[in-house]
Amino acid sequence: MLKSENNKFQIEATHHEDENSIDCERSSLDIEHAPHGTAGTGKALFMFLKAFIGTGVIFIPASFRNGGLALSIALMVIIGSICLLAFQLLVSVHSKIGGSYGDMAGVLYGRWCRYVVLFFLVISQMGFAASYVMFVSENLQLVTDALSGCNAPFESKYWIWIAIAIIIPITWIRRISRLSWCAIIGDIFIAFGLICVLYYTGSQIHSAGAGPNIILVNQNDFGLMIGTAVFSFEGIGMVISIVEGMENPKKFPLVMNIGMVIVTCVLILIGTMGYVAYGDTVAASVVSNLRTDALSVTVQLLYSIAIILSAPFMLWPAIQIIERGIFGTKRSGQVSLKWKLLKNLVRALIGIVSAAVSFGVGAKNLDKFVSLIGIVACTPLCFLFPSMFYLKAGPSTIFWKIINAILILFGFAIIGYTLYVNIDSWLQPSTAAIHECRSL
C-alpha cells in the first residue's frame, strides 16, 4: 500500500514539475559546483555549513542581549533541535515525492499551498536582502567615519541606495553559475570576518572583563531572540538542493545531524563571546562594536563587500518565482529584447523594494527587523510546512500524527507570541544608543 502511494506521489510530482515548476532551489546548486548526484559526504557537509553559517551569525550577540545569556543558549539548542527534526521530515517527504519545496506543497495540498510556500520564500529572501543592505549601510558609515575623521558626506541610510545600485546590475546576469566567483569571494571575506570577530571579542574580554549589565534571563524581550534565532537558521532553502546534489542521498541525514551540531555550536559561540564582551551595549551587528583600528575597518569594509556580492544570491529565488509568475516560461529574453528588458525592470524593482524597506526601517531598528523576518517568514518554512507535508506523506501512525500536530501547534504558538513581542517593541521602542563617531 505504501509503495503504491509513493508511486502516486511520484507521478503527480513529475506532472506538476513539467507544468509549472519554479526551481529556485536547484538553480542555487550551480553556485556550489555540485551537479546532481556528484557530491560526496564531505562536499555535502561543506555545502550545508556554508548555507547555514553566513552573515546572519553577526546578529546573534544582540539576540543574546534580548534573551539573556543562559536562556539564549538554551533556546538556541531547542530551536536548533526542532529545526533539525523539521529538516529531517522535509527530506523524508522529498525522497517520496521529489521536486522543490513549492512542488511538494503543490502535490500534497494543491495549488493554493504552493502559492503560499512560494510567497513565504519570496518575503524571506527579500527580507534577508533588506536586513543585510541595512547592515551594509551601517558598516560603510563606520568605515567612512574612521577614514574621514568623522566627516562623512551623508547619513548612513543613503549608503543603502549606493549598495543596491551595485547589486541590481549583478541580478541582470541570467546564469547564476557565472556568479560563482562572487560567492567564493564573499565566503572568504565572511570567514575572515568571523575569525576577526572572535579575536576582537576575546581580546575585549581578556583586557576589560565581561561587559556591562549581563543578565542570564531576559523575561521581557526573549521573544525577539527567538525570531533572530530562527532567522539565523537561514539555509532551509538549500536543504533540498544539497540532497539532490549528493551521490548517495541516503547519507544526507547523517550529514544534516553533524552539520546542525556544528552550526548550533558556532552560533552559540559567536553569541556568547559577543554578548559577554560588550554586554547590553552590543549593537544589532556585533561588527559595529569592534574597536576602531586598521584591522577592524578592513573587516567592516570586507563584510560590506561580501554582502553586496552575496545579495544577488539572496534575491535569486524571489526573482525566479516572481518572474515565472509574471512572464511564465515561454516569454524568454533570448527570443525578444522586449521581454529581456521587462524582466530586467522586474529584477530592478525587486531590489528597489528591498532597499526601500531598508531605508524606511533604518539601521537603528535592524535587530527588530531581523527578528520580524525570522518570525513572519522563516518560522513557517522551518516549522509549519515540513510538519504539514509529513502529516500527509509520512507514516500514518498515531505517534507521527501527534509529533506533527505538536510541531504545527508549536509553530503557530511561536509566531503568535514572538510577533506580539516584536510589535510591542516597535510601538514602545527603548531609548536608542547615541551614535558615537570613531576615527582612526
Using one digit for the tens of pLDDT, what is the confidence trace for 161-196? 999 999 999 888 877 667 777 778 888 898 899 999
Say what the pLDDT of residue 240 is.
Answer: 76
**CB-based burial of residue 294 (10 Å sphere; 0-12 exposed, 13-18 middle, 19+ buried)?**
exposed
Dist. CA 99–CA 13, nearest whole Å: 7
Rounded to 5 degrees, φ, ψ at 182 are: -65, -45
**Burial track 410-424 (b if 16+ CB lie within 10 A, e otherwise):** ebeebbeebbebbee
Say what the pLDDT of residue 242 is.
Answer: 80
Dist. CA 435–CA 299, nearest whole Å: 20
Say what the pLDDT of residue 37 is.
Answer: 56
Residue 167 is placed in which grid cell?
547589486
Residue 233 reports pLDDT greater than 70? yes
| pLDDT tens per residue, range 41-75 | 888 888 788 778 777 788 899 999 999 999 999 99
Residue 301 reports pLDDT greater than 70? yes
**Tally of residues, the chain:** 440
Say what the pLDDT of residue 432 is.
Answer: 56
Dist. CA 216–CA 209, nearest whole Å: 17
CB 91 within 8 A of CB 253: yes
Instruction: Band the pLDDT of 102: cuts 50, 70, 90.
Output: confident
Mean pLDDT over 187-213 rounds to 91
Residue 440 reports pLDDT greater than 80? no
Mean pLDDT over 338-342 rounds to 86
- Helix (H) or strand (E) holding 401, with range, is helix 398-427
Say what the pLDDT of residue 34 is.
Answer: 46
Rounded to 5 degrees, φ, ψ at 39 are: -80, 130
Say what the pLDDT of residue 20 is.
Answer: 45
Residue 32 reports pLDDT greater than 70? no
Rounded to 5 degrees, φ, ψ at 301 are: -70, -45
Say what the pLDDT of residue 334 is.
Answer: 67
Residue 363 reports pLDDT greater than 90? no
Name the one residue in this structure whose C-alpha cell is 564531505: 42
